[in-house]
Amino acid sequence: MFEIFIMDIFNSLQSQLIFGFTFLKNEDLIALIHPALAVVFVFPLIGMVANFAWQTRQRRLAVAGGGKSKIPPVVGREHVQIGRWLTGSVVGVTLVALAYSVVFGSGGFLAQQKQGSLDSFQVTFVALMFIATIASLVLLYRARTKLWRAIFATLSGMGLVILGSQDGVWRLSNEWYWSHYYFGIAVSLLMIFSLAIVEDIYKDRANRWRYVHIILNCLALLLFVGQGITGARDLLEVPLSWQKPAVYKCNFNKKVCRVNNPDIFKEIDIIG
């Protein structure tokens, strides 16, 4: 009896799992990788880094004032370590999003292939840019001298910007101030810069780099909040791959779609 009960639960869960992905094609499943990684890895790390940053700041102020702090000294080291993880996670998630957009986006490689306009040189160039950007970030983690940190940080940032300028990437340039893409690129560049100046923060007795780090990462925290909002908005606006032919025929200015039916022809109001 118990075995039958367990099998019923397993079959139920299996059917729900299959049903949950019934209407998703491979392209749609690949599109979920970016938001899934952001939710599962990036945003928890943001909370941890922000928490350790606050504790580190409070402990430093208490010690500077001549008092004692109950916050353990280890919070500073933990803040730096998890911050390094956060930089890699943010840049990695951004590269995943750019890779999907370049291949599957409107005007991307697959669309160009269908139109017969795919340029093999561009494909090779983009692939090499992904490799170069990842390699530059890895070398940035390993670099110790100021010159090499500056070089690899610049190369990593340039790689993101160049990849983001490719066809297929949805930039929403006419509303750049509320664009998920521009927020993502900006926060990625800030993370790379923060990683590059870690050594300088600890060597600077005047704390100028520390203040720069605090100000820029407060801005980054606001951008992360914007990322959560704009990312959720974009998920609502992007249709499934098999829905695109019908959805893109809608009148977005009037917010209406026309539906052809053998018996009737009617207009459906999207917002009504």
Cα–Cα distance for residue pair 130/126, rounded to 1 Å: 6
* Structural domain total, the chain: 2
Given this model, what pLDDT does residue 2 score?
A: 45
Q: Identify the pLDDT of residue 23.
A: 77
DSSP letter, residue 174: G
Same structural domain, 151 and 74 = yes
**pLDDT tens, position by position, 75-117:** 999 999 999 999 999 999 999 999 999 999 888 999 899 888 8
* N-terminal to C-terminal alpha carbon distance within the chain: 51
Claim to verify: residue 69 and residue 91 sit in the same structural domain: yes
**Cα separations in angstroms, 20 against 30, 105, 263:** 15, 24, 32
Q: Residue 57: CB partners within 8 Å, gap ≥ 6?
A: 214
Per-residue pLDDT at 268 exceeds 50 = no
- Claim to verify: residue 62 and residue 185 sit in the same structural domain: yes
The more confidently predicted of residues 21 and 272 is 21
pLDDT score, position 267: 47
**pTM for the whole structure:** 0.85
Mean pLDDT for the chain overall: 87
Residues 6 or more apart whose Cβ sits within 8 Å of residue 52: 75, 76, 78, 79, 82
Question: Do residues 164 and 138 lie in contact, with contact meaning Cβ atoms separated by under 8 Å?
Answer: no
Residues 183 and 71 in one domain: yes
Query: Which has more confidence, 243 or 144?
Result: 144
Residue 18 in domain: no
Identify whether the C-beta of residue 170 lies closer than 8 Å to the C-beta of residue 106.
yes
Question: What is the H or E stretch that residue 265 is in?
Answer: strand 265-269
- Please list the alpha-helical segments (H only) found in the chain: 2-20, 26-31, 33-37, 43-64, 74-104, 109-115, 120-142, 146-164, 180-196, 198-203, 208-237, 244-247
Task: Return the top range by mean pLDDT from 205-209, 249-253, 259-263, 268-272.
Answer: 205-209
Of 154, 43, 167, 58, whose CA–CA distance to 103 is shortest? 167
Model confidence band, residue 228 (pLDDT cutoffs 50, 70, 90): very high
Copy the structure tokens of residue 145. Answer: 């001298």
| 130 shares a domain with 84 | yes
Angle between helices 208-237 and 43-64 (to 10 degrees): 160
Q: Which of 184, 91, 183 is closest to 140 using CA atoms?
A: 91
Residues 203, 268 within the same domain: no
Same domain, 145 and 226: yes
Output the six-digit token pair for 100.
């999907």
Say if 9 falls within a structural domain: no
Express each pLDDT in 171-226 by its tens digit. 988 888 999 999 999 999 999 999 999 999 988 888 899 999 999 999 999 999 99
Task: Please give the residue range of the domain that contains residue 119.
Answer: 25-238
pLDDT bracket for residue 261 (50, 70, 90): low
